[in-house]
Amino acid sequence: MPSENHAQALQVLSYVDLTSLNNDDDKATIESLCTKVEIGSQSVAAICVFPEWVATAKTYFEEQSLNIPIATVTNFPDGSTNIERAVSETERAIAAGAREIDVVLPYRALLNGDESTPAELVRECKDVCGDEVILKVIIESGELKTQDAIVAASEIAIANGADFIKTSTGKVDTNATLSAAQTMLGVIKASGTDCGFKAAGGIRTVGEAMQYINLAEEIMGKDWVTPSHFRIGASSLLKDIQAVVDNH
């Protein structure tokens, strides 16, 4: 019988957006990432790479006959107020083969009292994505800091078409936290929409990932926590998953 730890590790793997967003990424880095999408018979939910590497990942998966969704980031990591830039980056990424877009909300604009620019940016990016491409909106919860700001950002993203709200870029001092996750999940529940949730940045062990899974199950119900609603953005978490599986 597989141990509970083994089962948890594979459960966590099923929610992972396996990520490499480093400025020195190259073709070899991305192809190496693509080789790690399966452990045993379980695969990750998606991989997430910079827009310029989407085509590389797509070619690799086609050659290996693997059906792994490719996610990318736009308006990243600064959360610019340049809506035209965010939309054109999103269009190009989809044309290259991205099936999931993680766009950064203009969170600084929101903190300065501008709600209309973040709302419009999400709305226009969702128009480009349509029903075929998943839009995850990164609210950068660690920079928003207060619960009120996290609630406001989450509500704006959901109201304007976000398919997921995501904690963080992983590029700031404070990334995913359980308290931010609790607030964001609460907003999703209150919205009554089909929006999902993604925790990203700093989740490195199966034990840490399980805390987010348990929290989501507590707030949204066990049946809700599937890869269609729940993701964990991670780069180093895979090492711990593999170690747990190997130990079993």
Q: What DSSP assignment string belongs to 12-81?
A: HHHHEEEEE--TT--HHHHHHHHTTSEETTEE-SEEEE-GGGHHHHHHHHHHTT----EEEEESTTT--S
Give the model's pLDDT for residue 200.
98
Active site residue 36: no
Give the model's pLDDT for residue 1.
47
Give the model's pLDDT for residue 3.
75
pLDDT digits (tens, 9 = 90+) for 111-154: 999 999 999 999 999 999 999 999 999 999 999 999 999 999 99
Angle at 12 between CA 199 and CA 141, to 5 degrees: 5
Distance CA 233, CA 198 (A): 7
pLDDT digits (tens, 9 = 90+) for 4-63: 899 999 999 999 999 999 999 999 999 999 999 999 999 999 999 999 999 999 999 999
Is the model's pTM score more than 0.85? Answer: yes
What does the pLDDT average to over 71-81? Answer: 98
Exactly one of 17, 136, 163, 198 is catalytic; which is it?
Answer: 198
Give the model's pLDDT for residue 248.
74
Active site residue 163: no
**Average pLDDT over the chain, rounded to an integer:** 97
More confident of the two residues 204 and 1: 204
Exactly one of 17, 102, 163, 240 is catalytic; which is it?
Answer: 102
What does the pLDDT average to over 70-94? Answer: 98
CATH topology of domain 6-247: TIM Barrel (3.20.20)
Residue among 40, 45, 36 at smallest CA distance from 14 = 45
Read off the pLDDT band of 70 (50, 70, 90). Answer: very high
Phi and psi for 179 in degrees, rounded to 5?
-70, -40
Active site residue 25: no
Exactly one of 17, 126, 136, 166 is catalytic; which is it?
Answer: 166
DSSP 161: T
